[in-house]
Amino acid sequence: MEIAQHVAAIEIDGRMLGEAAARAGLEALVSTCPDWRVRDLVRHIGHVHRWAAGIVGDRLTAATPGPEEAEMLRGGPADSGLLEWFSDGYTNLVRTLREAPEDIAVWTFLDAPSPLAFWARRQAHETGIHRVDAESATDTVGPFPAAFAADGVDELLTGFVRRGRPAHRSDRHRQRVAGPFAARHRRCLAWHRRGGLRHRRSRRRPLPLSVEPPRLRWSRRKRRPQRARLVARQRTHQVELIDA
């Protein structure tokens, strides 16, 4: 996907997230994020958007970790102004990414074709998955476009799972998956069936920070041989992408 497509996805999913939060109400429980209510989700993603926009907008080149989770959940305005605050945050992020030069040099924490491509992609999927979290508090959860869903799986497997692995080490070695807000993502779980994507995290235990690289295999269904499944399995994490 192109940078412009990722930025457009932030704008679309940001608007849908705000609408879902308004429908559900800030007191509603978020079923995909245990112990969170909608206000916690909105505060979290609102701070993430401001953190990312600050890195790009201020041209920060040094490592800039995000705020602590507890700090994010305490921060932000009162409930009466929370959704407007969230809207201002994602709108500013979209504007910042669109106005940034393509050759901007800023800090990133995953490999990418460029820093701008990294931040557009990362924030697109951050916003998209939290849009689904917000909608899980309502009676309607919208789909992801198939290309966007596949791009999210690619970021997970080629970015987060392999993050920090030296080039000379084999796949038998355990790799550490970490990053800003990792604790929150370990708590989030649910099935996501969107445009051919199925994503599950175990209810019995969270996804560990240290995981084995996924084992990939191809299989074909006897009744429908034209549909191939790429399955990446770990003990507590399964991703299944169906090319329909």
* 58 pLDDT higher than 60: yes
Last residue of a domain, one of 104, 123, 142: 142
Q: Number of folded domains in the chain?
A: 2
Looking at residue 238, its pLDDT comes to: 42
SS (H, E, C) the chain: CCHHHHHHHHHHHHHHHHHHHHHHCCCCECCCCCCCEHHHHHHHHHHHHHHHHHHHHCCCCCCCCCCCHHHHHHCCCCHHHHHHHHHHHHHHHHHHHHHCCCCCCCCCCCCCCCHHHHHHHHHHHHHHHHHHHHHCCCCCCCCCCHHHHHHHHHHHHHHHCCCCCCCCCCCCCCEECCCCCHHHHHHCCCCEEECCEEEEECCCCCCCCEECCCEEEEEECCCCCCCEEEEEECCCEEEEEECC
- Taking only the tens place, the pLDDT of each residue in 153-201 is 999 999 988 775 544 343 443 334 344 444 444 444 333 334 434 444 4
Same domain as 204, residue 232: yes
Looking at residue 164, its pLDDT comes to: 54
Same domain as 42, residue 136: yes
Looking at residue 163, its pLDDT comes to: 74
Same domain as 237, residue 125: no
- Taking only the tens place, the pLDDT of each residue in 204-228 is 444 444 444 444 444 444 444 443 3
Same domain as 223, residue 156: yes
Same domain as 203, residue 103: no
Question: What is the domain range of residue 205?
Answer: 149-244
pTM of the model: 0.69
* 91 pLDDT higher than 70: yes
Task: Kindly report the CATH number assigned to the domain that includes residue 28.
Answer: 1.20.120.450
Same domain as 168, residue 77: no
Same domain as 15, residue 104: yes
Same domain as 156, residue 133: no
Same domain as 211, residue 130: no
Average pLDDT over all residues of the chain: 78
Same domain as 89, residue 55: yes
